[in-house]
Structure 1
């Protein structure tokens, strides 16, 4: 029988010989198996042999044996957006605490790429996939994404969403509508009566939920928001700049700008300053998300806080321990945070 050369890395065959077991038994003890198990005493003997020889298991071999890796795949739309970056960071922390690895993928704000990304992660045999994003009004997207997700789940994978909903799949749902309604109540109490709403993209269901809930609650309080004061634009800093510029060029009369995301609000703030509009003296300003970079913004931005760490923790727990059939979805509350960008109006 060939002996291992001095200085070469130990192999699984070396471990099997050292433990006095077959190669198949050593593989099942080290890599695991989706069909057969090894008694604990024998498994410990093999593991002890591996430690003595300094053998390092092959992650790919373990994935083939178990049918999945100890890796979770996390998909976000835009890693440069502080909101998505905060959730990704929370996922990394939760994964590390659970002794899991994390593969991070981004669609680059191309929502149509979601199904391809899911298929790629499926081919990598990740243990679970967590989609972080938003709901979109697109039947074709829902069909292609649903098909890719279905193939992955049928192979034994677990898929969970954050901020978006897929039929038959567990998700962590942000209560956007309630947060926006509460924001409307705060602004009404502070004396604001002429809001300008930056509603986000037409196809973006999450942005639509935030803006429509705000408009509806204001209407219940007696303040009608005309359609001319609901401007659609990208849910980005650039989108906020464009929407604010359109409002100013159109000569719209408003006393507060309500953006459906924090980055959009920051874009509106930049354009307001460039155009000579003082925030908050001439008009108030609000966002949604409470991203960490707001700490450096002056005046402090009134927003709706989304607990990103909690979203990440709940999503990972659902992915590993949830029912996996859509019945385990959880709703997370959000909280308006009033700061200097919306002082009382007289």
Structure 2
């Protein structure tokens, strides 16, 4: 049985294929029509229009010319059934407006498009149910690959459900990778959140700071938890009391950082340095501090984490921990698309570097 790869509106009986402006079409152009116009078999037309190189000239040229004249477009879903996979690679992120995710998406797209594939981008808004729904959707559409980007959480039930959904995706022929903690049984690109925050704390202590406040994300978000833990470890390394740090939890967003910084000032700002566990929270905190008349770094130093691209326009320049975001996206795409399907899952650790800038001043 030959599967018809697709349809678009076709000509009426008796109309010239190269009909002029104003011609009306009321039915689907069938693959059989393309084959008949090109004077080839249905199987030959199917192979040409599926992108296979096994058909040479002049038949290939005749099929392509006929398809063009008839305005035929292959049906991607039918081709996916025939091939066992589509040309689509799914990319699930938490928030398309967050520069952290948009930079990673850029790296994914660059790698995927080099292979003449198409990226389907979806934002879960950190909703676990939506994440599961998108994975199921990618499975039903026979996506060739799937990349999930965003921190895992302490929700074990959701993790178990997602692991099972990804197992089904791979069983259907898809390949997957994650950019986060290595907890889903797939290839993983793992940013060194804990180690990077530990290095940052050491550097801030060496600038003479001893009183710190941390603006953290929700307690169930593992990236935030790891960065807080690493920061405390770095303080202990330098002889500072890790338990004496003020830690406030809020949304993992710019608005979350702004709100927490306002609360910090309202309670009486005693810290000489504030660490926001990601850069967008740090930018929100910077806005709140300015509004409250607190000068950075004259009155308090401020640091973030990620080194998102928008920091280039921030004054004062923000001290942060740099992750190679675009490279992380490209590496995840490479793992998902280029690894042997039979190979065991790989975890690639990504080094995090401290970048000291004008937002943190020395006290010694």
Q: TM-score, normalised by structure 2?
A: 0.86
What residue number does 2:108 align with? 91
Q: Is the 8 A contact 1:322 1:328 kept in 2?
A: no
What residue number does 1:318 align with? 335
User: Matched residues in 1 for 2:169 and 2:181: separation?
Assistant: 18
- The structural deviation recorded for 1:245 is 2.2
User: Matched residues in 2 for 1:131 and 1:155: separation?
Assistant: 17
**Where in structure 1 are there 5+ consecutive unaligned residues?**
33-37
- The structural deviation recorded for 1:58 is 3.0
What residue number does 1:169 align with? 186
User: Matched residues in 2 for 1:4 and 1:178: separation?
Assistant: 72
* Residues 74 and 46 of structure 1: CA distance in aligned 2, closer, same or farther (over 3 Å): farther
Partner SS state of residue 275, structure 2:
strand
Q: Which moved more, 1:318-327 or 1:174-183?
A: 318-327
Q: Is the 8 A contact 1:4 1:10 kept in 2?
A: no
| 1:60 matches 2:72 | no
Alignment of 1:204-283 (within 5 A): 204-226=221-243, 229-283=246-300
Task: Kindly provide the CA deviation profile for residues 297-320 of structure 1, in whole angstroms up to 9, marking residues without a partner as x.
Answer: 111000111111101111111111
User: Matched residues in 2 for 1:45 and 1:63: separation?
Assistant: 27
What residue number does 1:69 align with? 86
In the alignment, which of 348, 353, 364 is matched to residue 330 of structure 1? 348
Q: Is the 8 A contact 2:279 2:305 kept in 1?
A: yes
What residue number does 1:6 align with? 16
Q: Is the 8 A contact 2:147 2:179 kept in 1?
A: yes
Alignment of 1:185-200 (within 5 A): 185-200=202-217
| 1:148 matches 2:165 | yes
User: Matched residues in 1 for 2:324 and 2:236: separation?
Assistant: 28
Q: Is the 8 A contact 1:31 1:65 kept in 2?
A: no
Task: Kindly provide the CA deviation profile for residues 144-194 of structure 1, in whole angstroms up to 9, marking residues without a partner as x.
Answer: 212221211111111111123334210111111221111112112211111
| 1:122 matches 2:132 | no
What residue number does 2:43 align with? 24
- The structural deviation recorded for 1:3 is 8.6
Q: Is the 8 A contact 1:15 1:46 kept in 2?
A: no
User: Matched residues in 2 for 1:128 and 1:339: separation?
Assistant: 39
Superposed CA RMSD in Å reads 2.3
What residue number does 2:21 align with? none
User: Matched residues in 1 for 2:222 and 2:162: separation?
Assistant: 16
Task: Kindly provide the CA deviation profile for residues 67-112 of structure 1, in whole angstroms up to 9, marking residues without a partner as x.
Answer: 2111111011111111111112222222222211111101123233
In the alignment, which of 6, 23, 47 is matched to residue 60 of structure 2? 47
What residue number does 2:149 align with? 132
Partner SS state of residue 89, structure 2:
strand
What residue number does 1:35 align with? none
Q: Is the 8 A contact 1:63 1:125 kept in 2?
A: yes
| 1:344 matches 2:362 | yes
User: Matched residues in 2 for 1:181 and 1:4: separation?
Assistant: 75
Q: How many residues align?
A: 339
Q: Which moved more, 1:219-228 or 1:121-130?
A: 219-228
Partner SS state of residue 116, structure 2:
coil
User: Matched residues in 2 for 1:185 and 1:228: separation?
Assistant: 14
Q: Is the 8 A contact 1:30 1:46 kept in 2?
A: no
- The structural deviation recorded for 1:228 is 5.8
- The structural deviation recorded for 1:49 is 2.4
* Residues 150 and 224 of structure 1: CA distance in aligned 2, closer, same or farther (over 3 Å): same
| 1:101 matches 2:118 | yes
Q: Is the 8 A contact 2:49 2:64 kept in 1?
A: no
Q: Is the 8 A contact 1:287 1:303 kept in 2?
A: yes
Q: Which moved more, 1:247-256 or 1:126-135?
A: 247-256
* Residues 39 and 281 of structure 1: CA distance in aligned 2, closer, same or farther (over 3 Å): closer
